[in-house]
Structure formats: structure tokens, C-alpha cells
Structure 1
Amino acid sequence: MFGGRKNKGNNEEKASSLMTPANSPTSGGGSVTGFDSAGLERAAKAAKDLDNSKNAKAAIELIKTQELTKQHEASMKRAEFDAMNKQMELQRVEKEGDEARKTLERKSQYDRQREEYKDQLDRKKLADQLQAQREMQMESLKKQEEAVLRQEKIRRETAAYEADLKSKADIAKAKAEAEGRIKQERANHDLAIEKLKIKAKEEKDALIESVKDSTKQVLEGLANYVSDTERLRNTALTGSAVALGIYTAKVGTGVAGRFIEKHLGKPSLVRDTSRASVSKFISAPVATTKKILGMNDATKALDGIILEKKLSTQLEKVAVATSNTKKNRAPFRHLLLHGPPGTGKTLFARNLAQNSGLEYAILTGGDVAPLGKDGVTEIHKLFDWAHTSRKGLLLFVDEADAFLRNRETEQISEDVRNALNAFLYRTGTETDKFMMVYASNKPEQFDGAITDRIDEIVEFELPGEEERRKMINMYIERYLNEPASAWAKKVVMDGISESDIESVVGLTEGWSGREISKLAIAWQSNAYGTAGAVIDKEAFMEVVEQQRNANTTKNVWLDKARADMLAKDGKD
């Protein structure tokens, strides 16, 4: 295209050169108007010469052919130029599309980053809110505990203040009454003395007259009695028979009483026993007779007790050894069971006695101190009673540390010290009559002589996860699914699944067996508070939370009591 234009320009230039004369105004000597007439003449002449030439037609055809060729080339150039323009337009559109796509991607990435950042901000905000709620709950719980402690402190201070006021008021009242009586007696002193003198004189005169009359009557009766010999003999025989009867009845009654007390009575120190007594004969004669004759079936020592496997194995060996000891009439070995409260120590002691064929008796260490001077006598009565057991007696001392404290380091009264000495005297030698089983939360407070008498020590720990799971299922079966009482209604557990029970296993960590038993009883009580004895999932978990809060409060009280005791000991 551009070549065509160039050739066209050359032809025009040639035509101009032909049309422009040498003397034209444009060439140096042209006219005023710029029109070159000589050029036209030359052109006309050249055209005339060209027409007259024999090759004119061929030259014209050649010129036409060249012109068509040039036009075709120009068309091709224009087509190429148009194609190039279209290609450039496509490249521009493609580039704009790439730029738009990149812009969209950048926008999408920006939006995504913005959403992620917003999500992070929301998560952080939610975490901060949860943390703030937890802190508020902890602060609320702390304030509640502080409020409970303050209320308890105020209650104690109020009680002490009231007691002090009452004591002062009683002292003031007694003092006022005493002063009033003193003033009254001083005011009526002379009158009272005169009345006493008159009364004494009258009583003296009456007594003298009475003595005179009595002496006269006695002398007359004695003179008549002495004069009758038969009456004297009968009187002597009757008096001797009466004295002999009184003495015989007194001795026989004492022997019978001691026999009944040893065999059918129960010492005052014994809280509970499997041995027969007069009251048991009256209330349940058949069952008591079966126990005396040994007709009851022995149960296993660990029935109803869920313990850790290693501890269960140890206790089974103790039960078997105790049973064989009884059968072979060998001396019993004394046992110490120690650990937190509610871990099954008392229950095992009872089952041990039943499984080994022994009778059992339970006493509490705290019952000895209130006896005072009678403590020694009651200790001897207890062991005399134990020696009369035909089967052998398992003597279980619960809370033994309350009585068997170290005599050298603990502050104990003289009466308790004497009772402890009597206890040590009666347990100092081996015997096949009774077996001592001590239970304590603080065995380190035992007297050294008691520790020396212990042959085997068994530690009861708080139940682990597996033991708690078994306990919860056992107590649910006992108190909810199949209550033992014939008149008790079965509890309906609505919507409570195995996962709910499993969550309770985790929430009861650190609980004793007694606390888990109380939890099941609380479930039962909650269900019996409804019309159909129904407990749903919400009430089920709410009871657990209530028991957890109650246990926390109890632990706070215990910790405060221990702290107060330690502070008091430090001051002492």
C-alpha cells in the first residue's frame, strides 16, 4: 500500500516536471499566477508522440498492468495493515483481559485475606469473651467462698459475743440476787435469830417428851418379851433364816447377772455387734438363734466393695488367712486399715468377720474420753466380753486415732491415759479369742505401743476412674433401677445415655465411695420429688453439679478448720 502511494507520487512528480517549464515562475522565472503553459504544451506533444508510436498500445497495457499490480500490492498492504491492526486489537483485548483477571484475582485474594482476618478477629474476640466469662465465674466463685467464710466468721463472732453477753448477764443476775439476799438477811437478822431460838426451844421440849414416852414403852415391851422364853427362841430362828436367804439371793443374783452380762449383754463401748443380746432375742429370736448356732451362710469378704485390683488381692489373702487362723485355733494377727473416709474400711471389716466365721463388734475411739474415770472399767468389761465369744471376735476400732494417741506428744487427760494403759494391757499378748482391726485417717498419731501391736497394714485409696465407673453403675442399679425395699418405686431414667454416665465418671474424680453412694441417693430423691419418679438428663447433671458444689464447700470448711488448728498449735 505504501509502495503504491510512493509510485503514484513519483508519477505525479514526473508529470509535474513535464508540465513545469524551465522558465516557469516556480523554477526561477515563472509567472505571477504560477501556471506553466509550456509544460502543458510539452505534455501534449509528448502524448501526441506517444500515440503516434507503434508501441503505444503495449506501453499503455504495460502501464495498466503495472498500475493494477501496484493497486493489488497496495490492497495486500492494506489487508496486512488491517490484519496487523486486528492482531494488535486482539492483543490489546487479551492484555486487558489478563489485567482484568489479575485484578479480579487480586481482589478475590484481598477479600479472602480480609475475611480470614475478620474471622481471626471474631475468634479472638470470642476467645477473649470466653476467657472473660471464665475469669468472672472464677471471681464469682471466689467471692462466694469469701462470702461463706465471712458469714461463718460473723456467725462465730456473733455466737461468741452472744455467749459473752449471756455470761455477763448471768453473772450480773447472780450477783444482784446474792446482794439482794444478803441485804434481806441483814435486815431480818435479829428477827430470824429470835424465831430460830423459839423454834429450837419448842423442838427440844417435844423431843424430850417423845424420848421419855418411847423409853417407857420400850422398857415395858422388853420386860414382857424377856419373860416369855418360847418367843425368844422363835425370834432367833426366824432372824437366822431371813439373814441366810438374803445372803444367798444376793450372791446368786450377782453371779447370774455377771453371766448374763458376759454372754448376752453388750458393753457400753460397743456401737454395733453381730453377737446375740437380750434385746436381739426379744426383737428377732429366730435370726438370733441361727447366728448362735452358726446356721447363717458366710458371704465373701469383698462382696459389695469395689476396690483397686491390687488392693482386692491383698484383702482376699487377709480374709483367707483369717479364716484359716480361726479353723486352726492359731493366734490372730492384728490389722490396720488406713486411708481417706468413705473408702470401704468399715464395710470390709464386717465382711471379713462374716467371711471368716467370726463375730464382730464395732466401737469408736471418740467414745472413750467421755467416760472419764469409768473408761478403765469399760475397757476391761469389753475384753472380758470378747473372751466369752465362742466363735472368736473381730473387734473393729473406728477412728482409732481419737483414742490411741501418742502419750508423749499429745495432750491427753489422765483418765484417757489410764484407759489407754488398760487397752495396752489387754492387747499386749497374742490370743485366739479376738482379732483387733483398727481404722484411721491419721495413723501417724498412734501411740508407739499400738503401732508395735499391728501385724499388717492395708492402705485404702480413693477410687480410680475404673472403680468409679463400676461404683456409679452399681449404685444406679441399687437405688434407681432395682431398689432393695419392697415398697420402693423404680426410677425412670429419661434420656440418660451411657455417655452421660461416662461424663459423671470424669466429674467425680477425687470422690470417695461414700460420696458416690450419696450422689446416687440424691438422684433417687430428685426422682421421687416428681409425680412419676422420673429423672431426666438435665436434672441428672444438675444433681451432680449440686453435689460437686457441696463437696467443694465442705473441703473449704475442712481446710479452714485445719488452718485454724495449725495456727492454734503454732501459738501454743
Structure 2
Amino acid sequence: MDNSILSKFFGSKGASADIPDVKFDAGSLPTPPTPPDKNDNSGLKPGDKWSSFDPTGLERAAKAARELDASSHAKDALELSKHQEHTKQIEFQAKVKEYETHVEQLKIEQIRQQSEEKRNNLQQDAKLKKEQAEYQDLLSRRRYDDQLKQQAARNEEDLRRQEQSVEKQEAMRRATLEHEMKLRRDNEIARAEAEALARAKADRENQDLRFEEIRLKAAEHRTTVLESIKTAGSVMGDGAKAFLNDWDKITTAAFGITLAAVGLYTAKNGIGVAARYIEARLGKPSLVRETSRLTFLEGLRHPIKTSRRFFSKPEDSLRGVVLKPTLEENIRDIAISTRNTKTNRGVYRNILLHGPPGTGKTLFSKKLALHSGMDFAIMTGGDVAPMGRDGVTAVHKLFDWANSSRRGLMLFVDEADAFLRKRATEKISEDLRATLNAFLYRTGDQSSKFMMVLASNQPEQLDWAINDRVDEIVEFDLPGLEERERLVRLYFDKYVLEPAMEKRQRLKLGDFDFSIKCSQIAEKTKGLSGREISKLAVAWQATGYASSDGTLTEQMVDDRVEEAVKQHQLKMEWISHVSPGMEKESSQTTSTKSSHYAAAHSTDPAVDT
């Protein structure tokens, strides 16, 4: 359509600008007001809105409409207007659908909010019911506690009343006894007074007779004494006169007195010498705590045991001892050489055993003595210091007793560093120094009568002269994995399996594989000594006895193993702490001790059974 034509009807800005883009609904359009009639002036009032209406615009629109109808482009303009109206309706319908969609979403959101609110209400109701239940439970508990308190109060009141009743009864009984005792005492006093009065009256009546009797007895006694003195004087005087006049009697009497004095002196000293001989060779010295040597009295007391000992065969030196293969080989060589030395009556060699505690040093010494056919004696270095000045005498008695052994004696000195320490240090007393000198004097030469075995956890503290008397040094380490497994199996059989197989024992075993369990325990017990493993086996036995039905389960075994490992770690922590006194020691001593402490955390050897 030509814009010039449209501009005639809608102004100079064009048809698109003059046609307003208005969204409307036919039902929502307000009814236009009816213009007032020009001829009707009755309803007009000054200031009415229709009073200023200008109809020229309508006239121009009507004129433009007539021109548009007369124009050839009227049809195109109408089509364009319809098309625009259709487009607006489509847009309006899209917006209506969008509005409906928004309304649906609002409804869904409202439903969701209602559901959320309902769920919250349900949760609040559940929470409220839970709180009510908890409150009811709390009230019931409080009521129960109140009942218990009331019952306890009643019990205490009953007990108090019973105690009061018992106290009253006791008081009545005590009052009755006191009354009876008072009556008895009064009766006894009255009876004693009556008897005293009767005796006094009788004494007063018989006083003259008693005085006369006493005088007669005194006169008779005096006469008898005088006559005895006269008789004795005459006899002794005649005897002395006859003895002094006879020279042979005087010589015989002097010789008899001399013989009596000599006999008395000889008997006194002979008894002392015999007593010392018996004490040195038959009696056990005070320093010896344990010995396999039998005295004459013990032989008479236990004849069967003594006879078995003479006919017994040598025992294996490593029986019941678990060591590393290299250490076992060294120990076996020492045992064989010691037995051959005893057989050939050679000179024994002195040995120093050192290592952590519980690694089998004492056990090996006993086994070595039994294997070689010797007697063994065990003493502790800690027993020497308390003796003070008597320590020197005790040491001499010990070695006199050792030299008197016919089978040979193996003297095992446990904790040797307790009194055989370095003499240069200020910590050693004069008495202990004298005892050490006596020990060095008696061990200066190697002997064919006794063999000395020293054991120490700190060999670096031994005096240099003691080290000079040692012929061979053997180190006992903590057992390794294979040795620990052998030890665990050994003690498991001894303390658990054997008692469980006996019918008289209460101990039973649970259902688990013993072989696999022993291997697992050996891996867990790294750093434990043989003595600690034996104590662990004893703990298994005690745990089985302490159970309700006497059954040792796998869990019980594992619990005791974990407890033993924890205790061992705690002991190692105690050892790792260095005391202030140890800081003054030399660097060599400190390094040596550190090596011992490090060994306690690595491998671990032999053990007593």
C-alpha cells in the first residue's frame, strides 16, 4: 500500500506508527461513554468532561475512511490490518499458554510446599512423640530411682534399728555380766577377809608355840654345824699332814694336774680344728644359694637319691636349652672339653657369660655341670656386699669348700659385676675391696678342683684382674625368629598341651590350629627373651584355669600375647631413659650399654625350661 495514502488517514508517521499495538480482550474493554446530545443542554454543567470535547478529529477520521474506501488500496490495507490482528491474537494466545503454564507451576510448587510442610509436621510430631517418650522414660527412671532410694533408706533404717537393738541387748548382757562379776568379787573379798581374820586369830593363839619351835630348831642346827666343822677340820688336817710327809704322793698329784691341763687344751683346739674341717668340706658355705653337692648327712637322709646319682649317666648339656646354631656349636664344644678335662683330671678353664637377662646363662651352667659329671654351686654377687668385714672370711670358706669336692665343682657367680667391679671407682667400699682382693687371691691360679663361671649383664664394669682370669667369653643374645618359634612350641607343649591331656587337670583347649598359632606368636614376640616366653606360656595356663569352663581359646592366647608385648615395650622404655649418674660414665661404657639395649629390640636366644 502506498504510504502517501496511509498518511492521509493516520498522519505523517506511517501506518505502523499510527496503528497502536494494543493487547485487548473483547470482554474486558470498557463500554465507551455515550456522547451527550448537542441539543440536550439539561445535563450539562460547567466543568463537565464532555464540555470540552472537540469533534473535529472524528470528522477527519470519517473523511479519511471515505477516502480509503474510494482508494484502490483499501483492500490491501484491510488485509494488512487483519494480518496484524491475527499476529497479535497468536502472540496473545502464546502468552495465555505461558500464563497457564506458570499457573500450573505455581500449583505444583504449592503442592510441593504443602508436601514439605506436611513432612515437617510429621517430623515435628515424631520428634514431639520421641521427646514425650524420653520424658516418660526419664520420669519412670526417676520414679525407679526414688523407689530404690526409699528402699535403701528403709533398709538403712531397719539396719539402724537392728543395730540399736543389738547394742541394747549387748549393753544389757554387759550390765548383767558386770553385776555378776561385782557380786562375785564382793563375795570373794568377803571370803578372803573372813579367811584372813581366821588365820590372824589362829596365829595369835599359836604364836607362843611357834616361837618355841623356832628356838629349838635353831639350837639344833647350830649344834650340828659346829660338830661338822670340827670333824672336817680334823680330817683335812690329818690328810694334809700325811700328804706333806709323803713325797711320792706330792709328785703323783703334780703329774696328774699337768696331764689334765694338757688334755683340756688339746681337746679344745682339736674340736675347733675338726669343726673347721667339717665346715669347710661338709657344710655348705653361706654364700652358696643352691648346690647339687650332697653332704654326709644328706646322703644318710636320702640314700636312694644318692645311689641314683652315682649310677646316673651324663646329661646332654643342651637339653631344654634353645640357642642359635652358632652359639649351640660353641657351647657344645665347651661342654665336651669340660667333660674330658674332668675325666683326665686336667686344669679347668674359667668362662664369662654375658648378655641380656633371661637368655639361659644360669641354665647352661647347670647343664654344663651335669654333663661333665661335676657338682655345681650358685652364688649371687649381691650377697657379698651386705657381709661387710665377714666377706673375706666367707670367700675363703667358699673356696676351701670348693677345693674339698671329689667330683669337681663348677662355681657359678651370677651378677658378678655386683662385687667384682673395678677397684678404681670410688663407689666400692673398703670391705668390698678387701673381699675382691681375697677372691682374686684364691683364683690367681687355675685349679683342677673347681671351675669358675661368671655371668653378667654389664661385663664392662668387671675389674681388669677378673677379665684376666677369664679364659673364654660367650655372648648370649636374644632368640631370633626360629629360636622363638622353637621356644613357643616347647613351652606350649609343657604348660598347655601336657596338662590338657591329663584327665585330672581342669585345662581344656579350644578349636584352633596350634602349629600355625605358634608360628604367628613367634613373629609377634620379637625382642622377648626366653624367660619372658616361658612366663607367657605360664600366663596361658593360668588364663585357661581362670576361665568359667577351663577352656583356653584362641582369643585368650592372642590377648595374653598382646599384653606381654606391651609390657616388654614398657620395660624397654624404662631402660632407654638414661639416669643422671650414667651421664658421668665414659664413652666406651655408654656405647657398650647402648649395644646391649639395642640387642634387646632385635633378636633374642636361649632360655630355661
TM-score scaled by length of structure 2: 0.53
Give the aligned residue type for 1:327.
T
1:274 match: 292
> Is 1:554 matched with 2:560?
no
> Is 1:249 matched with 2:267?
yes
Could you tell me how far 1:549 is from its partner in structure 2?
2.8
Could you tell me how far 1:487 is from its partner in structure 2?
9.6
In 2, Cα distance between equivalents of 1:363 and 1:458: 19
Give the aligned residue type for 1:524.
Q
1:523-552 deviation digits (Å, cap 9, x = unpaired): 111112235432111211111222223333
2:492 match: 476
**SS of aligned partner of 1:337:** strand
> What does 1:512-531 align with in structure 2 at a 5 Å threshold?
512-531=529-548
**What 5-or-longer segments of structure 2 have no aligned partner?**
1-228, 587-609
Could you tell me how far 1:226 is from its partner in structure 2?
3.7
Which of 514, 519, 528 is 1:502 aligned to?
519
2:100 match: none
> Is 1:348 matched with 2:364?
yes
Structure 1 pair 280/548, CA: closer, same or farther in 2 (3 Å)? farther
Which of 270, 276, 283 is 1:258 aligned to?
276
Could you tell me how far 1:236 is from its partner in structure 2?
5.5
**SS of aligned partner of 2:556:** helix
Give the aligned residue type for 2:271.
T
Residues 494 and 536 of structure 1 are in contact (CA less than 8 Å); yes or no, is this contact kept in structure 2? yes
Give the aligned residue type for 2:405.
S
1:331 match: 347
1:318-366 deviation digits (Å, cap 9, x = unpaired): 1111111122222111111110000000100111111111111111111
**RMSD (Å), alpha carbons:** 3.2
Residues 507 and 551 of structure 2 are in contact (CA less than 8 Å); yes or no, is this contact kept in structure 1? yes
> Is 1:359 matched with 2:375?
yes
In 2, Cα distance between equivalents of 1:341 and 1:484: 30
In 2, Cα distance between equivalents of 1:224 and 1:290: 72
1:297-328 deviation digits (Å, cap 9, x = unpaired): 21011100000000000101111111111222
Residues 415 and 456 of structure 2 are in contact (CA less than 8 Å); yes or no, is this contact kept in structure 1? yes
In 1, Cα distance between equivalents of 2:505 and 2:576: 40
Q: Give aligned-pair identity as a percent.
A: 46
Which of 321, 334, 340 is 2:337 aligned to?
321
Could you tell me how far 1:555 is from its partner in structure 2?
3.4
Could you tell me how far 1:490 is from its partner in structure 2?
6.5
> What does 1:45-444 align with in structure 2 at a 5 Å threshold?
226-227=240-241, 229=243, 239-240=257-258, 242-277=260-295, 280-281=298-299, 283-291=301-309, 294-409=310-425, 411-444=427-460
Could you tell me how far 1:251 is from its partner in structure 2?
3.4
Structure 1 pair 530/428, CA: closer, same or farther in 2 (3 Å)? same
Structure 1 pair 520/450, CA: closer, same or farther in 2 (3 Å)? same
1:381-431 deviation digits (Å, cap 9, x = unpaired): 111111111111111111111111011135200111111111111111122
Structure 1 pair 290/248, CA: closer, same or farther in 2 (3 Å)? farther
Residues 500 and 507 of structure 2 are in contact (CA less than 8 Å); yes or no, is this contact kept in structure 1? no
In 2, Cα distance between equivalents of 1:484 and 1:401: 43
Could you tell me how far 1:223 is from its partner in structure 2?
6.2
**SS of aligned partner of 1:551:** helix
Could you tell me how far 1:499 is from its partner in structure 2?
3.2
Residues 489 and 533 of structure 1 are in contact (CA less than 8 Å); yes or no, is this contact kept in structure 2? no
Residues 410 and 452 of structure 2 are in contact (CA less than 8 Å); yes or no, is this contact kept in structure 1? yes
In 2, Cα distance between equivalents of 1:401 and 1:484: 43
Deviating runs (4+, > 4 A) in structure 1? 216-225, 230-242, 483-488, 567-570
Could you tell me how far 1:567 is from its partner in structure 2?
5.5
Structure 1 pair 568/280, CA: closer, same or farther in 2 (3 Å)? farther
**SS of aligned partner of 1:297:** coil
Give the aligned residue type for 1:507.
K
In 1, Cα distance between equivalents of 2:318 and 2:356: 18
Residues 395 and 436 of structure 1 are in contact (CA less than 8 Å); yes or no, is this contact kept in structure 2? yes
Structure 1 pair 559/232, CA: closer, same or farther in 2 (3 Å)? farther
In 1, Cα distance between equivalents of 2:340 and 2:575: 42
Give the aligned residue type for 2:466.
I
**SS of aligned partner of 2:284:** coil
Could you tell me how far 1:558 is from its partner in structure 2?
3.9
**What 5-or-longer segments of structure 1 have no aligned partner?**
1-215
Give the aligned residue type for 2:530.
G
**SS of aligned partner of 2:528:** coil
In 1, Cα distance between equivalents of 2:268 and 2:433: 35
Structure 1 pair 410/288, CA: closer, same or farther in 2 (3 Å)? farther
1:540 match: 557
In 1, Cα distance between equivalents of 2:559 and 2:409: 45
Could you tell me how far 1:491 is from its partner in structure 2?
3.1
Could you tell me how far 1:255 is from its partner in structure 2?
3.5
Residues 398 and 439 of structure 1 are in contact (CA less than 8 Å); yes or no, is this contact kept in structure 2? yes
1:279-298 deviation digits (Å, cap 9, x = unpaired): 6336523213443xx32221
Give the aligned residue type for 1:474.
L
> Is 1:461 matched with 2:477?
yes
In 2, Cα distance between equivalents of 1:405 and 1:468: 33
Could you tell me how far 1:242 is from its partner in structure 2?
4.4
Structure 1 pair 381/526, CA: closer, same or farther in 2 (3 Å)? same
Give the aligned residue type for 2:482.
E
Residues 481 and 490 of structure 1 are in contact (CA less than 8 Å); yes or no, is this contact kept in structure 2? no
- Further displaced range: 232-241 or 310-319: 232-241
Structure 1 pair 223/486, CA: closer, same or farther in 2 (3 Å)? farther
Give the aligned residue type for 1:493.
L
In 2, Cα distance between equivalents of 1:433 and 1:384: 10
Could you tell me how far 1:278 is from its partner in structure 2?
5.0
Structure 1 pair 236/485, CA: closer, same or farther in 2 (3 Å)? farther
Could you tell me how far 1:502 is from its partner in structure 2?
2.3
In 2, Cα distance between equivalents of 1:483 and 1:381: 44
1:478-502 deviation digits (Å, cap 9, x = unpaired): 1111149999726322033233332
In 1, Cα distance between equivalents of 2:357 and 2:285: 26
In 1, Cα distance between equivalents of 2:516 and 2:581: 43
Give the aligned residue type for 2:393.
T
1:58 match: none
Could you tell me how far 1:517 is from its partner in structure 2?
0.4
Residues 226 and 232 of structure 1 are in contact (CA less than 8 Å); yes or no, is this contact kept in structure 2? no
**SS of aligned partner of 1:482:** helix
Residues 379 and 422 of structure 1 are in contact (CA less than 8 Å); yes or no, is this contact kept in structure 2? yes
In 2, Cα distance between equivalents of 1:541 and 1:236: 90
Structure 1 pair 532/434, CA: closer, same or farther in 2 (3 Å)? same
Structure 1 pair 347/490, CA: closer, same or farther in 2 (3 Å)? farther
TM-score scaled by length of structure 1: 0.57
In 1, Cα distance between equivalents of 2:365 and 2:394: 23
In 2, Cα distance between equivalents of 1:537 and 1:394: 44
Structure 1 pair 252/272, CA: closer, same or farther in 2 (3 Å)? same
Give the aligned residue type for 2:363.
L
Residues 479 and 524 of structure 1 are in contact (CA less than 8 Å); yes or no, is this contact kept in structure 2? yes
1:201 match: none
